[in-house]
């Protein structure tokens, strides 16, 4: 942002020559953070339309990277959702499933939570037998 001239007695107070007049950097950053945490419906629909356009458009060089990014993200999300549904009784979080998919940790995750899942089922059977 360009700096203005130092204020003089004749011209009055300093006026910023930037996009937002006389708004501090901290306020601008707070506004940006608030907008990112609570996006408007318009921006959400713009993102959805852009994604739909990229996925349906012919694949030229300028769009290939975005297409690859969107498809990989979709595959990761779908695989993580299936893992979470599979181990729902154990109480695994979605973020742990996403991390396992991205780091190729799925066999270890299945082995770890598969054992816990068996213990949970055994506990459930034991409680039913005791009644």
DSSP-assigned letter for residue 38: S
Q: Given this model, what pLDDT does residue 118 score?
A: 47
Q: Given this model, what pLDDT does residue 17 score?
A: 64
Find the mean pLDDT for residues 1-23: 61
Q: Given this model, what pLDDT does residue 71 score?
A: 87
Which residues have a Cβ under 8 Å from the Cβ of 13 and sit 6 or more positions away? 7
Q: Given this model, what pLDDT does residue 86 score?
A: 86
pLDDT at 48 over 70: yes
User: Model-level pTM?
Assistant: 0.50
For residue 79, name the pLDDT band (cuts at 50, 70, 90): very high
List the one residue out of 91, 128, 80, 81 whose CA is nearest residue 113.
91
């Amino acid at each position: 942002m360009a700096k203005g001239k130092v204020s003089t007695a004749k011209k009055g107070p300093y006026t910023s020559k930037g996009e937002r007049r006389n708004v501090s950097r901290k306020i601008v950053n707070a506004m940006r953070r608030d907008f990112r945490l609570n996006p408007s419906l318009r921006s959400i629909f713009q993102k959805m339309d852009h994604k739909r356009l990229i996925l349906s458009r012919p694949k030229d060089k300028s769009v290939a990277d975005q297409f690859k990014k969107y498809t990989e993200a979709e595959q990761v999300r779908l695989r993580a959702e299936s893992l979470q549904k599979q181990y729902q009784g154990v109480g695994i979080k979605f973020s742990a499933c996403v991390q396992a998919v991205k780091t190729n940790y799925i066999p270890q995750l299945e082995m770890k939570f598969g054992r816990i899942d068996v213990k949970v089922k055994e506990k459930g059977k034991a409680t039913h037998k005791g009644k």
